[in-house]
Every structure is written in structure tokens, then in C-alpha cells.
Amino acid sequence: MLLAFDTATAAVTVALHDGQRVVAESTVVDAMRQGELLAPGIAHVLAEAGVDRTALTSIAVGVGPGPFTGLRVGLVTARTLGHVLGIPVRGVCTLDILAADVTADGPFLVATDARRKEVYWARYADPHTRVDGPDVAKPADVATDHSVAGRGPLLYPDAFPKPTGPEFPSAATLATIVATGRVHELEPQPLYLRRPDVTIATGRKSVLAR
């Protein structure tokens, strides 16, 4: 049994694959509550399928790129479950998950919300062949007349005038492409592509006596 989930976008998406097909899935879109929604989502798909977590044989997780907080929730959960259950954890670029569901003819782009008026993007020759990226950029710097999947076209229609689905990644798709070997797997490490918004101070300011 393969448990798959992704929290790199505003969608908290979870699915369970039995080796033949997806047997349960759950997706909730809420950009501010990944930490609250992932565990219930996992519990829901396990309960729906009537499966105990001890029956899991592997985990697939989206590794981004995405915001620091969302990625941390997904990656920490995946690695913790993998360690506790003694099963492998397989990472997949979140943009590749989106690309696998694109039905546009010809080359296309995937662009997701990177905040700061930027997008995380990658370019594809087809749904399973990434040819450039992932990277982060201003929408104008990667503007295209080709089809663009993800949240980017909705946020920046001037740069991406030809939107196509999907808007968010699907854990059902993640589970399927991992189960069938139709994706390049990565280590379960986060693809931040830039420093987090909040940084930890590395030293103290000196105070001079008067």
C-alpha cells in the first residue's frame, strides 16, 4: 500500500494506492492550515480504505518547490512515518505532479504561486518530460503563449494568457505515477529554491559600554 501526499501548494492532498489503483483520496484547499489538515487527511483515506497504517509499504511525498511552512509539514510527516514504519519515502517534484495531469497539445509550462509576486515554474515537452526548471522567477521573465498549468495563470493572466488544468497537484496522480514508475524520484528533501521569509539570527550585536 502506497500512501501519497503533497502540501507544497494551498492544496493538502492525500491518496492511497493498493498497487493496482487509487482506493481513497482527499483534497482540501486552505493555504494557511497544512499543519492542521494533513493528519486528518491521512486518517480519512486510511479509514475509507479500511487500512491500518502498519499495512503501508511506502510513502510518496511532493517535495516542492513551495513555501517553507507547507513543505516542512509534508516532509517532516513523510520522514517520520517512514522512520516509524520502516518503509521507504519517495520524493517527487510537485511541478511534475501537476504536469502529469496536463492534457494540452505540445510544450507547456507549470507555474505555481511563490508569493512575493513570483512563481515557481518548470517547462515540459510532454506530461512526463521536464526540460527546464524548477526555478523561481517574476512572471514576466517566464511569460509564454504556451499552455500553463497551476495557480500562476490565474494570478498573472498577462504573463500566462493560455491557462490549462490542473490548478493544484493531486495526490492520486502522485500515487499513480510513483506506482507505475512514470516519474523521476528524488530524495525526500525540500526544494525551497530560495531562503525562507524568516531567518534565525546567527550572532548577537555587541554592546559597547559608555
pLDDT at 202: 45
Number of C-beta neighbours around residue 194 at 10 A = 13
Task: Report the CATH number that the domain containing residue 37 is assigned in CATH.
Answer: 3.30.420.40
User: Do 161 and 147 touch, CB atoms closer than 8 A?
Assistant: no
Element (H, E) at 31: none
* 24 is a domain residue: yes
pLDDT at 195: 60
Report the chain's terminal Cα–Cα distance, integer Å. 68
pLDDT at 209: 41
The total number of structural domains that make up the chain:
2
Question: Using CA atoms, how far apart are residues 104 and 85, in angstroms rounded to an integer?
Answer: 39
pTM: 0.91
* 187 is a domain residue: no
The parts of the chain modelled with pLDDT lower than 70 are 195-210
Average pLDDT score, the chain: 93
3-state DSSP assignment of residue 143? coil
Q: Are residues 55 and 87 in the same domain?
A: yes
Task: Report the CATH number that the domain containing residue 138 is assigned in CATH.
Answer: 3.30.420
Residue among 188, 191, 202, 200 at smallest CA distance from 68: 191
pLDDT at 20: 96
pLDDT at 196: 52
Question: Using CA atoms, how far apart are residues 90 and 156, in angstroms rounded to an integer?
Answer: 32
- What is the percent of the chain where pLDDT is above 70? 92
